[in-house]
Structure 1
Amino acid sequence: MTLAATTDESPMPTLTRSSRMAQVEVLHRFEEAEPLWRSFENANHLYTPFQRYDFLSAWQRQVGSREGVAPYVVAGLDAARQPLLLLPLGIQSENGLQVASFLGGKHATFNMPLVHRAYAANAGRADVDAAIAMLRRRADRPDLLSLARQPRTWEGIANPLARLPGQPAITGCPLLKLAPGARPEERISNSMRKRLRSKERKLQATAGYRYTIARSDADIQRVLDAFFVIKPLRMAAQKLPNVFADTGVREFVFDACLSRQPSGGRTVDIHALECDDELIAVFAGVADGHRFSMMFNTYTVSGLARYSPGLILLRNIIDHYAERGYTAIDLGIGTDDYKRMFCKNDEPLFDSFLPLGAKGSVAALGLSSLGHAKRLVKRSPALSQVAQLLRGTLQR
């Protein structure tokens, strides 16, 4: 299949309210989708860095393919076959149903289509309904679209899929908004900065103490090697499952972190506190010039842990991106206490479960009900405590 693709050197035509989605095409191989996909990764389009080609191709190669996920990349086109929207999905068999979900699994904090900005600004409910109707008529359609953890807006523009039926996501995402030109104490209070400086003096007494951003292949390899030693110990201490031990995850993390964008920048930014003897703390995430979104983190299991190295590293990260004009930092799904020390807002997320066939209708209702129940548990301290106790018991 050949679809027209634009590049930064060939600017997109201006879209108007008369531009409507006229057809959808589905690409079943990453290599087939790559030219069109990369043409969406420029300033004319809206997308989160979790939907970049390099990030998701690494995930599909190392994790998705091993889990039986088959690419199902949907391209929405206007009557002139001008690309308007790219939906990076994968199909997996679940309990006898073919379910299409966003690629990236739990390693992508946010999911949404890559979409032309003008189309996103003008698309109405009829546009997205028409796209879903066209998918329903395809012979290769899945039974169900399970579209989780979608932001309602991105960079102030509505996500077109927010016009479809949906419900609040199970768990929110703590968000720190950064006002342009704000003073450091407006980002993090003077009292917290003072406490962290006092703790950091203890770390500064170690030989070679430093805050670094891993940029070279050798630095990235060294930091990740240490991360994969420390993280299992930290998860075990918290009686939590080590998701980084799942098949292919280590390879995915290395592939994604070592890859580069066409601009030359890394697909994943890795921030660390180190000394000559050990990796003290690490936070890694994706950045797009507007927002930094955390992917994974850990901190030492040595005695240096008592000096709050994770919080000290977060202070450095916040200042780093604020000084570069970023307007937001999010710390991933979940409401851990340390996140609330910095993030006073939440990114509103929603889930949509859309049947494309008769078999998918019952499944959509079941997933919706399950999502509501899980959200109720998350919002109730008493129920959450019971769930944690049961999880701990099952893991013994």
Structure 2
Amino acid sequence: MTMMAVLTEARTADRAAVLRSRIARVEVVRDLAAAEPVWRMLEQTGQYSSPYQRFDFLSAWLRHVGNAERIEPFVVIARDAEDQPLLLMPLGVEHKFGVRVASFLGGKHATFNMPLWRRDFALSADVSDLEALLDGLRRAGGADVLALQQQPLRWNDLPNPLAQLSHQASVNDCPVLLLPVGAAANDLISNSFRRRLKGKERKLQDLPGYRYGQARTQADIDRLLEAFFRIKPVRMAAQNLPNVFAEPGVADFIRQACAAELAGGGRAIEIHALESDAEMIAMYAGVDDGSRYSMMFNTYTLSEAARYSPGLILMRHIVDHYAALGYRRIDLGIGSDDYKKLFCKDLDPIFDSFVALTGRGRIAAPALAALGRGKHAVKHSPALMRMVQRLRATLPR
């Protein structure tokens, strides 16, 4: 068979797969307000998505952070033959390395990335559906390559349909604590660890007004975020880390998302804290979807109360809080920090996909994939990590 015949046969097979798909039309929406009705419909309970892709979360991010980074909305909506939405991919497009790269909105502030799916479609979507999606994107134009990073292999016990695309391991996996139905408290956190934390907490309980709680009012949110934005830069400087919260728009994004009230109750970012009458002692902020709480950022006091491991004490309160509500998982964000290993005994695999949409994309996609593999190699090599840390310590802040 000649090479031309092989290529013709492959194109014919691809076209046949597209025709078998339930996806009849793919559109790219460049305005978040225009996409909002479909977006909110696919957020409803019973569909399939992560809380990092909620409209309130990502619209706040785009307004304050994405726009500052010159990221333009590139929201992909796939519809069936009855024009009903099957999925929405909340992407943004930016120019990198001379090509137009479309990636999930949220940047480094979204721990997990995935489309919002109509649940019945997510349960049965196959390769022909994904080929139809990509074919529609190529026809729509506007992007050279898809850089779909930090995707969970599974979300809330369901497989991620995009894992059927060619993919590779992300730089890091995500430590996770499983909360089996009916599990005893000591099954989640060992008796000995609980005793150590309770012994430390007795020192904090001597402080006037000591308490654990969740931010419920705007006054709570303002008080805790004021302390966070004052303390966190000091903590990061002590670790010789860049202050990502000082980047343009980040503080305003966090304030807006923490204040955003969701239709079903709660807020786009939920805050838990230990406090006394005098200060915020420790805080964690994250997102939840009624089944999983996912950490985003945290800090703890600069006062003497820091001696008693307030971050670990707060984590124990959070675990007990969500276990009592019947949640199934808690994660502490992507990365392998030592404190995460104290609570999280399992790992959620995370993957990246780089998909060419144009001729330029066919050059860029392998280069982006290679860059990701290089970062993965560094992160998983203690020797290389030590070299990077030594280099980082020499750089000015």
- Where 1:24 maps in the other structure, the secondary structure is strand
With 59-68 and 379-388 compared, the bigger mean Cα shift is at 379-388
Q: Tell me, in whole angstroms, the C-alpha distance in 2 between the residues paired with 1:137 and 1:390.
A: 45
Which one is further off, 378-387 or 283-292?
378-387
Match of 2:60 in 1: 58
Describe the SS at the equivalent of 2:67: helix
> How big is the shift at 1:43?
2.4
Deviation at residue 130 of structure 1 after TM alignment:
1.5
Deviations, residues 4-26 of structure 1 (Å, cap 9, x unaligned): xxxxxxxxxxxxxx871111011
The answer to which structure has the higher helix fraction is 2
One-letter amino acid of the counterpart of residue 46, structure 1: Y
* Match status 1:163 vs 2:198: no
1:180 and 1:113 map into 2 onto residues whose CA distance is 28
1:145 alignment partner AA: L
Q: Which residue in the other structure is 2:34 paired with?
A: 32
Is the Cα–Cα contact under 8 Å of residues 72 and 94 in structure 2 kept in the other structure?
yes
Alignment partner, residue 77 of structure 1: 79
Structure 2: stretches of 5+ with no match in the other structure: 1-19
Q: Work out the CA distance in 2 between the residues paired with 1:203 and 1:290.
A: 31
RMSD between superposed Cα atoms in Å: 1.1
Q: State the shift of 1:331 in Å.
A: 0.3
Residue 273 of structure 1: SS of its match in structure 2?
strand
- The residue that corresponds to 2:197 in the other structure is 196
Q: What's the CA shift for 1:134?
A: 1.4
Cα distance in 2 between the residues matched to 1:252 and 1:316:
27
Partner of 1:112: 114
| Alpha-carbon separation, structure 2, partners of 1:152 and 1:333 | 14
CA offsets per residue over residues 269-305 of structure 1, 9 Å max, x none? Answer: 1000111111110000001110000011011122211
Secondary structure at the counterpart of residue 68 of structure 1: coil
SS in 1 for 2:343: coil
Cα offset, 1:41, TM superposition? 1.0
CA distance in 2, matches of 1:346, 1:167: 16
4+ long deviations beyond 4 Å: none
- Partner residue, 2:51: 49
Work out whether 1:121 is the aligned partner of 2:123: yes
Q: Is the 8 A contact 2:21 2:129 kept in 1?
A: no
Measure how far apart 1:95 and its partner are: 2.4
Number of equivalenced pairs: 378
Q: 1:52-83: per-residue Cα shift (whole Å, max 9, x none)?
A: 00000000111111110110000011111111
Aligned residue number for residue 137 of structure 2: 135
**Which residue of structure 2 aligns with residue 282 of structure 1?**
283
**What is the identity percentage for the equivalent residue pairs of Structure 1 and Structure 2?**
55
State the TM-score, normalizing by the size of structure 1: 0.94
Secondary structure, counterpart of 2:214 in structure 1: strand
Q: Distance in 2 between matches of 1:98 and 1:41?
A: 28
Secondary structure of 1:382 counterpart: helix
Q: Secondary structure at 1:56's aligned position in 2? A: helix
Return the offset for 1:223: 0.4
The secondary structure found in structure 1 opposite 2:326 is coil
Flag structure 1 segments of 5+ consecutive residues without an equivalent. Answer: 1-17
Establish whether residue 361 from structure 1 lines up as the match of residue 375 from structure 2.
no
Counterpart-to-counterpart distance in 2, 1:280 and 1:342: 20
Q: TM-score of the superposition, structure 2-length normalised? A: 0.94
